Each structure stands twice: as structure tokens, then as C-alpha cells.
Chains A and B, each alone.
Chain A
Amino acid sequence: MLTLRSALKQTRGLAAALLTGTALLAPGALAAQDGETTITAVMHSGLRVLDPVITTAHITRDHGYMIYDVLTAVDENFAPQPQMASWEMSEDGLTYTFTLRDGLRFHDGAPVTGADAVASLQRWGKRDSGGQLIFDVTTSLEAPDDKTVVWTLSEPFAPLLDVISKQSAVPPFIMPARVAATSSDETITEYVGSGPFVFNEAEYEPGVNVTYDKFDDYVPRDEPASWMAGGKVVNVDKVVWTTMPDALTALNALSAGEIDYLEQVQIDLMPIITGNPDVTVEKRDALGYVTIGRPNHLHPPFDNKLVRQSAMAALDQESMLATMQGDPEYYSVCGAIFGCATPLGDASGSEDLTGGANIEKAKALLAEAGYDGTPIVLMAPTDVISLINQPVVAAQALREAGFEVDMQSMDWQSVVQRRAQQSPVAEGGWNMFFTNWMVPEVSDPLINVMVNGRGDDAWFGWPTDPEIEELRAAFVSAENPASQKEIAVKIQQHVMDNVNYIMMGEYIIPQARRNTIQNMIPSPVPVFWNMTKAAE
């Protein structure tokens, strides 16, 4: 039977031709002009900052992996692998010699030299917390010739390769020495890398579109791609990231074939897309994210360990994650501060945290601490969808335990400004906020900024915690993975007791792609090498 809907659909071609005069509206046509293979992707955010060293913004890191390369990179087993360079470590663990592989060129045609690597590592070392620790024990970092970089330390730093191979926040991307000479407190203004894609500056619109062209002179490694390591073989001519502020529009565009890939799908909108046979919704990254609560250790009442323990006892991971994600398929209760599926992950001491709220215990701890009913200021961002629910759930739980809670709603920018205030609460300070991290960003004691216990030099919340600093120092000098794990477990237990922060569990944000997009690497950082695109 000819329905109105099918009759209307039959007019599709005629109307499209009338409207456009071309065949522009065929699915995939947007991405396949001029015979080029183009992948059009909607990432989690618009790209505005182009310097992957000055910022920890994930979208800028993703941009970094497109156009830059790294000396060494982590594979899917969390093991550092040669990327631009192979390495040798001296027997005493004090000297690392990196040898650049053949064929490395920047996008302007210049060869990548040891001097470029040295300048890039030095700039990175001023920004990255792990990098700063390495440079604290660095005697020299030199390039004796174009192919070689020699890094000499005053004392062994066992996790050096892990730190320089990390995939997130902030990887040491290699830039030309003249670019890396830019102060680490200023953004770079020249965007030349040696990575598999070339940044197309002419087509760049900040926060709107960014185009990457295949770098024809890139020489991939021979090994198969594995997370950030292995051969970065580019199978398309172009990748275009376009920003779509409206989640529903992005799903509609994917359904209609106007885009190929959507990095993040809102869980509550998934039913719209899951029935589409041309689209696959999936978990790319098995590790996902963690959500955490950070108390301010400087001021009452959270300067008191018993009060922090009370807050932790009052909070319930399950209810917070369920409120955030809705579907249990996309979250998991997890008490391991380094992540539940990472080599250093261990859930020791987190039984209270993962077993549900223990309001009676929380009340008892609060009474023991002599809490005087001073309201705690809980900052609640209203404009970041992944952070809206945690303060609301936490406020209710804390009130049930006997806390007076002053939940203050504000935009995320106000949170990031206010959380930097060390002043007392009455003078514009704060007591608690929530944020999220990718699991690889918290997966070891050097990367995880929340286990830094250096007081004013620590991350917002500023715990002064000599015990954890001793453990972190021991981690640096641990001789093998088993010893590292042993120390990581001690840090885990310490954090559960001292409540440096409150781990609220893990969650995953699914991605969606047209079925024409295949061979995507299941890495925490979305990468576009290896990926193929078939015709519709």
C-alpha cells in the first residue's frame, strides 16, 4: 500500500535535485568530494587550543596525536614501545640513549633531529607533572648528533619510559626545535609536526572545523598498531573534525550519513541510533573514565581526616554512577584509585566505598570529629553534562550523614577559577568539587595528580601528605614492576585511609560510527590511523 510517507519518500530525489541542482545530498557525498576519502568526525569538543603541551585538554591532546609523533608510546599492554626512537638504558639506570629511526621528517620537509627532540622534551618537562619529576633528577639532556638523544640522570628513575610514553595529559610530542623554544607558558604559533597527518591551517576555524591531510612522507613503523604504538598507517586522504554542540543533531547527522564517526554518544539518546542498521554503537575504550570528589584539605572541616572519612562513608558509588549514566552497561563500581583494569590497579581498602553508603558510620565519624555544623561549600557546575549529577547526589548523601551542605551552582569556568582559591570558605574558598579523568590519566602515582601530597604545590585541594610523598619516591626508585605494584597498593590503602580524594567509580562513554568505518584502534585516545572507510 502506498502510504503518505512512502509517497513523500519517492519525491526525495526530485526535491533534492530541485533544491540543490546537484547530487550533493546522497549519503556520504559530503565526505567523498573530489574522489578523496574523507572521514568526517564529531569529537567530544571543539578544538580551540592548538598547543598540546600547554594544555591538558583532551581535544588538544587528540590533535597532538594527529600531527605530532612521540619518541616512545604505550601499547595495549601498558608497555612502552619504540615509536620515533629505540632506546638503551645503562646498567646503572642513569643513562638513557635514544636513537631516532630513519625516515622521520617534519611536515615542512626538514628531518627530525636529536636537537628537536631535546627542545621538545625540555618544554614538556616544564609543563607535565611527571616530566617535572624526571627533570628534578636530570643531569643532562643532549643530542650528540642528529640521530641520538642522551638523557643522563643523577639517580635512577625507573618509570622514565612509562612517563614519556604515557598517552594522555601530557604526552611529550616532538616539535621542531624552533617551535619548542616557545616558553612553556605561551602557546605555540607554528603547527608543524612529523606525525601521520598534516594540520590544514587554511581550513581551520577555531571551535568549528579542523582538517587534517594525510602526510604522504610519513614512514610508519612495521609493527601492527597497538594503542599509541606500532605502525601508524593512514588509509584515508583527509580527516575533518567538525564540532556539533547539539547531541541530537550529531546523531541525526550520523544517521543521515553526513558524518562518519561520533566520538561520544549521550546514553539517554542511544535509543535513537541503536536501531539504525548502518550505524554501530560500541565501547571503543574498555578503560573509560573515573569520576572523583576532591575535598579541600586546607580548611575546616575537611582538614580533619575523620571528617573526610565520614564524607567517604556517606557516599555511594552505585547511586552516583546510576544517576550519571543510567545504564549499568556503561558504568562500574570500582574502588581502585589507579583504575580497576590497569596493571597498578588494586581495590584494597575500598570495601566501604564500593559496598554502598554507610550512613551510621559516617554519623559516628562526624561525631567523633566534633563537626560543628559549619556548612560545607560544594561547587556544582551546571554546564558540563558529565559533572552535573555528582554534586547533587553527594549533597543529599552528605546531608543524611549530618553535614550542613551549601551546594553552590555555577558554570564550570567559575568552578575552575574558584577551586584555585586557597582562601578560607568565607573569603571565596571552597570545600569540595567533583571532576572526571580518563583512566590512563590516573593509572599510576606519577601521572595521577590527586595523589600528589606536596601541599601548596599539589593539585587543587592541596593535601600536605609526607607519607604519600615517601611512597611516590619509593615508586620512582622501585626496581621492577612487582615492587612498583607493591608500592601502588600501599598508596591505594593510604588514600583510602587518608581520603586524599574520593574515588566514585568508573564509567564508559560509547562511540558510534557508520559501518563503512572499520579497523579503528580500541585505544583510550581516539586515533585515525589504521582506520579504513569503505564506500556506502
Chain B
Amino acid sequence: MFVYILKRVLATIPVMLIVAIFVFLLLRLTPGDPAAILAGDAATPAQLERIRDRLGLNDPLLTQFFTWMGQLLRGDLGVSLLSNTSVAGMLADRLGPTINIALMTITISVALAVPMGVIAAWRHRTWVDFLVMSFSVLGFSVPVFVIGYILIQIFAIELRWVPVQGYKSPGDGFGAFFSRAILPSLTLATIYIALIARMTRASMLEVLGEDYIRTARAKGVRENVVLFRHALRNAAVPILTIIGTGFALLISGVVVTESVFNIPGIGRLTVDAILARDYPVIQAMILLTAGIYVFVNLLVDVSYSFFDPRIRY
């Protein structure tokens, strides 16, 4: 297992290098000028040229690339062209809200969706199954911002149970964190509940038809043990894959939800950086996102062996 993990970690190096080269070139080939954003509307071409010089944007592409790679190898993500603040600091500030909201979303989603999927499969073709699938279709179909606005209208404007917007870290008190994180998490969870419930149902339906399930039932094993110990464990691999991919998607940015609930997360940082052509921030963000995907996929792969003893590394 250790050797497998080590190999996978080493395999990320060429992946990240390719991502780095691709991102760097893509940004330089995309129209846009950070100097123009920095200087504002009234800057003359001569002033823009001098600012570009100072920012190193007039250096040859290779020079710019190797300067950036050199910084990366020293663990330095650089400085934002606009705010002059450390990119690593900006990422650290924004990662907290995103991770916390993602964890809460995934927790809610798994807690609700897995039992829903199991029950839907267990009560296949009954009104329970129909209800779960209807919710699932709804969850897929309604845009997240609509769900967000509806939740805000009900729980923040009408009932005033929670604030409309904003974010507080758990360090500021669990109540302050929870009251602000619950609506965005529920909003995001809607689509993940739909996704995970469908996957769980499909996977369970397949497993529930297996001989060993029939055998277990014939031996008089209680139904909840059949469902959750025998069936769910064997149906877990595709469900875990969906959860892992979903978590990576949540971490890599949910711009609309972050905007609707005014959460200063990774998604907004990425969009703002792209609109301002803040190259160091965009490059760091895309590398981070790629890294998260690689890491989450590795975690998912490793976790397979815990649920399915037939999988060995």
C-alpha cells in the first residue's frame, strides 16, 4: 500500500508540470493586460508600457516561465500583480471558507443521500422510490442560485433564523459559523444529494440482486444488516467515487453559490483573478485545483480497499 501511495504521489509530479506549462501558456496567449487593470482607464500607452516593464510582463516568455518555476521550486507562489500581497496568503485566507463549506455540504449530502438511495433501492418501484427519484430530478434541474435565493428568502428574510450572507470561521464560534454556513451548504447539497442518492440507488439495486444477498436473507439476517452491512458495503465503490469527485468539485470552486451567499472562497478568488488577469493568482489557483483533484482521487482509490477487500494495491 505504501509503495502504491508513493508511486501515485511521484506520478503527480509530471502531471503538475504539464498543468503548469499549459496554464502559463494559456494565460499568456489569452487577451488581457494586468497593467491596464492596475493603471485604470486614464493611463496612456507609455504609462502602461512602463508598468508592464516593472511587472516583468515585457520579458521573454521563457524568462517569465523559468522565473515562475524557480519561485515554485522554492515554495514561493509569488505576489498578486494587483494587490501586491502574497498569493500563498490569499489562498490560505480563501481556502478555509471553501473547505469548511465543502465539508459541511458533503456531510449533509452523504448523511441524507446514502440512506435515501438505500431506501429507494430497498423499496424499488414504490412511492418511496418515486419520491426519492423525483427529488433527485428536481435537485439536478433547479439551478443552485435559485435554490439559494429561495432559502435566503425563507430562512433569512422572512424567518430571520440565519443571516443573509457572509462567513465566519469555526474559530469565531460554532454558532456564528453554523448560522452562516448552513444555507450555502444546503444549497450546494441539493445537487449532491440528488447525485449521490441516484448513484447509491443504482449501485444498491445491482447488489441487492446478487446471490449472497438472497442467501443472507434466507439465513434470517435482519434486513437492516442485509442492507447496510452486506449490500451497501459492496455497493460502496461507485458511491465513493462520486463523493470524492463531488468534494474535489466543491473545493475547486463554486462561484455562483459563493457569490449568492457572499462567501470569500476559492471560486470567487479564481474568477476575480481571471477577470483582472492576475497571472500569479490564476496560476496558483489552477495548480492548487489540479493538486486537489490528484489528492482526492488518491484518497478515493485508497479508500476502496477498506470497503472492498478484493481490491489490493
Contact = CB atoms under 8 A, between A and B. Distances in A.
A12 B158 CA distance: 9
Interface stretch (A92-100, A305-313, A411-419): A411-419
B82 A246 contact: no
A188 B247 CA distance: 39
Interface residues of B, number: 58
B47 A252 contact: no
A127 B54 CA distance: 15
Nearest to B174: A21
A76 interface: no
Contact of A48 (B32, B83, B277): B83
Contacts of B37: 413, 416
5 contacts: A19-B178, A249-B260, A258-B165, A413-B32, A441-B42
B99 interface: no
Nearest to A206: B83
Given A8-B159, A21-B173, 6 more contacts: A25-B161, A30-B166, A48-B272, A207-B272, A258-B163, A413-B33
Interface of A: 5, 8-9, 11-12, 15-16, 19-22, 24-25, 30, 46, 48-50, 54-57, 60, 127, 129, 169-170, 183, 185-187, 189, 205-209, 242-246, 248-249, 252-253, 255-256, 258, 383, 410-414, 416-418, 420, 422, 435, 437, 441, 449, 456-460
B260 to A, nearest CB: 5
B259 interface: yes
Contact of B161 (A12, A410, A460): A12
A12 B160 contact: yes
B269 interface: yes
B182 A19 contact: yes
Given A253-B165, A411-B275, A420-B45, A24 B176 contact: yes
Interface in B178-193: 178-179, 182
Nearest to A56: B40
Given A20-B176, A246-B262, A413 B82 contact: no
B156 to A, nearest CB: 6
Contact of B83 (A50, A411, A441, A459): A50
B85 interface: yes
Given A56-B42, A253-B164, A258-B163, A5 B158 contact: yes
Nearest to A9: B159
Contacts of B36: 413, 416-417, 420
Contacts of B272: 46, 48, 207
A114 to B, nearest CB: 28
A206 B281 CA distance: 12
B224 interface: no
Interface string B24-60: 0000000111001111111111111011011000000
Interface of B: 31-33, 36-48, 50-51, 53-54, 80, 82-85, 90, 93, 149, 152, 156-166, 173-176, 178-179, 182, 259-262, 264, 268-269, 272, 275-277
A20 B277 contact: no
Contact of A244 (B80, B93, B176, B262): B262
Query: A-B pairs with the 3 shortest C-beta distances?
Result: A56-B40, A20-B175, A206-B83
Q: Which of B44, B162, B176 has the most CB of A within 10 A?
A: B44
Nearest to B281: A206
A430 to B, nearest CB: 12
A413 B85 contact: no
A16 B182 CA distance: 12
B32 A256 contact: no
A48 B276 CA distance: 10
A242 B51 contact: no
A206 B87 CA distance: 11
A226 to B, nearest CB: 26
Contacts of B48: 420
B165 A56 contact: no
Nearest to A5: B158
Contacts of B264: 205, 208-209
Given A8-B158, A245-B268, A249-B261, A19 B39 contact: no
B173 A15 contact: no
